[in-house]
Structures are given as structure tokens and as C-alpha cells.
A and B are shown apart, each in its own frame.
Chain A
Amino acid sequence: NAGVTQTPKFRVLKTGQSMTLLCAQDMNHEYMYWYRQDPGMGLRLIHYSVGEGTTAKGEVPDGYNVSRLKKQNFLLGLESAAPSQTSVYFCASSPAGGTYGYTFGSGTRLTVV
């Protein structure tokens, strides 16, 4: 009964390094989302997926890529990390998009130095 699990919880990267954030949900939800949270900016949508094998851009997609090869997993990749990508990243899932609300993971705190 884990809900939405994000790994890792914390990470420090050097500028130019790459990494992948993993989001896994065990609720059989169709929709999955990646947000970033920055002070004073609220939550901003990076990418989302409306089902297995689909992805789409959100408000702030530049510098990120995603994949949804399996229904339960949604991966967020940073190919060449920049200090501007220092943020807290949240994954969320939903059975039917906005009509049911989201279940959120506990977040990944990423620092790029």
C-alpha cells in the first residue's frame, strides 16, 4: 500500500551530469505527472503522461525528458544538469486526471552545484 514512491529522496549533482528520477505507483493510475516546486513559484508542471507509452510537455519542459514504458513507472531525466534545475521534484498520479485529484510522492530534493 505504498501509493506513489519517488527515488532517490536527495541528490547532489555537478553541473553537466545526468541523472534519472524514478516515480512508481501501485494504484493502477492512468495519469502521471512531474512537477517542480521552487520558493514563491508554487508547483510547475514539467511533463505528464495520460497512459502507458505516452508523454507530453507541461509548462517548464526544457532540460528534461521523460518516459512511461510501463504503466506504473514514470521516469524524469536530466541529460545535462544546470544549477537552475536545483529544486524539489514531485511526482503525482491520478486515475482520471484532474477530476479525482492527485496522489503525490514525497519528493526528491535535487541540488546542482
Chain B
Amino acid sequence: KQEVTQIPAALSVPEGENLVLNCSFTDSAIYNLQWFRQDPGKGLTSLLLIQSSQREQTSGRLNASLDKSSGRSTLYIAASQPGDSATYLCAVSGTGRRALTFGSGTRLQVQP
């Protein structure tokens, strides 16, 4: 059974810092990996989707990398802003199963 772990569970940083969020998964037979953002009381917004054949994806100040063989992904946020404060969730889909398996998320607070 796939398990996804995210470290740290919570993070507080001053505005302007670059930061890294970590995600690990136990079964490397994934089809793709997604990073989502969730604001309090809201649904999830997809940030980046990395196919299993890819090593990284970039969107603006966000960069996500994937090392499938070691079961790891990182989300890099450059020059953090207070508006980045949210919970960031990592999720993987399996090669045979369409459902996403989520981690518990990293709650990020960027202090102005």
C-alpha cells in the first residue's frame, strides 16, 4: 500500500526566504506526482504535475523535482511571500490506480 510522508509538518519563515518542502513515497511504481495548495476552508489547487518520466517542473517561483527511484520529491519556493501561506500537499497516482494518495501536508506560514 502506497504511503506518502511530508516533512516538515509545519514551517514558519520570514518573507523573502527560499524554502524547500519534502515529500517521500514508499512505492516507486507511480504514474505521476502532483503538488497542491490548500487554503483554509477551501478546496485544493493543483500547482505542479510531474510525470514519472520527468525530473522536474517549474511554474513561476515554484520548482518541483522528482526522484522516482528513491521515492522523493521536493517543492522549492523562491523568494517566499505572505500570500504563499497555505498548506502544501503532495500526492501520487499509481501505474494501475487512478486515485491519488496524499501526504498530510506541510502548513506554511510566511511572516511579513
Chains A and B are bound partners: no
